[in-house]
């Protein structure tokens, strides 16, 4: 006789994951160095890099809980002007749209938006950060290393702006 307790039929089925990552991919990638090749020999200091980041989400098919979430990152590097004021000439421009397709299961309707705009970008961010770092390094510049992003604060800020506009 076995000491193993009987297995309940549902015990072999793992619980549904609330967020499933179906695929991640580069949707768009652009890297421009308008002053090449002279910029490499004439640049006197490390360029100033301005970062813009946006998160977009859209349902892929009506009636299904499958969504595409995109991190859009724009990194524009400028050289400090000789006179010290304003922005100098553009050194490089990197634009990355990094996306993932996510299936949401068992998530209440009132929490879908924060999951799409906070949790899904948290999953995508390390990969997008690595791609941006690699492309700027491979472009002949110091790698752009994005600091961690507080996606919750970004989402809350966006909600506050939308509420103020209404």
Domain positions in the chain: 17-156
Mean of the per-residue pLDDT values for the chain? 88
Note whether 24 and 99 are within 8 A (CB): yes
Angle subtended at Cα 98 by Cα 138 and Cα 125, rounded to the nearest 5 degrees? 85
- Specify the higher pLDDT residue, 14 or 31: 31
Note whether 107 and 18 are within 8 A (CB): yes
- This prediction has a pTM of 0.83
Q: Report, as an integer, the average pLDDT of 52-81.
A: 92
Q: Could you tell me which CATH number the domain at 17-156 has?
A: 3.10.420.10
Rounded to an integer, what distance in angstroms lies between the CA atom of residue 128 and that of residue 42? Answer: 30
Of the pLDDT bands very low, low, confident and very high (cuts 50, 70, 90), residue 46 is confident
- Specify the higher pLDDT residue, 87 or 33: 33
pLDDT number for residue 56 = 96
Strands 66-78 and 90-104, bridge-based pairing:
antiparallel
């Amino acid at each position: 006789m076995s000491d193993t307790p009987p297995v309940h039929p549902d015990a072999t089925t793992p619980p549904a994951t609330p967020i499933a990552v179906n695929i991640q991919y580069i949707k768009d990638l652009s890297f421009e160095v308008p002053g090449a090749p002279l910029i490499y020999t004439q640049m006197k200091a490390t360029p100033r890099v301005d970062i813009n980041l946006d998160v977009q989400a859209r349902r892929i098919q009506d009636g299904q809980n499958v969504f595409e979430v995109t991190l859009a990152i724009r990194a524009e590097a400028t050289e400090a002007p000789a006179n010290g004021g304003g922005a100098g000439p553009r050194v490089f421009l990197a634009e990355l749209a990094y996306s993932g397709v996510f299936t949401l299961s068992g998530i209440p309707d009132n929490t879908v938006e924060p999951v799409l705009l906070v949790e899904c970008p948290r999953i995508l961010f390390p990969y997008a950060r690595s791609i941006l770092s690699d492309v700027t390094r491979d472009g002949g510049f110091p790698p752009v290393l994005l600091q961690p992003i507080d996606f919750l604060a970004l989402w809350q800020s966006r909600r506050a702006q939308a509420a103020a506009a209404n």
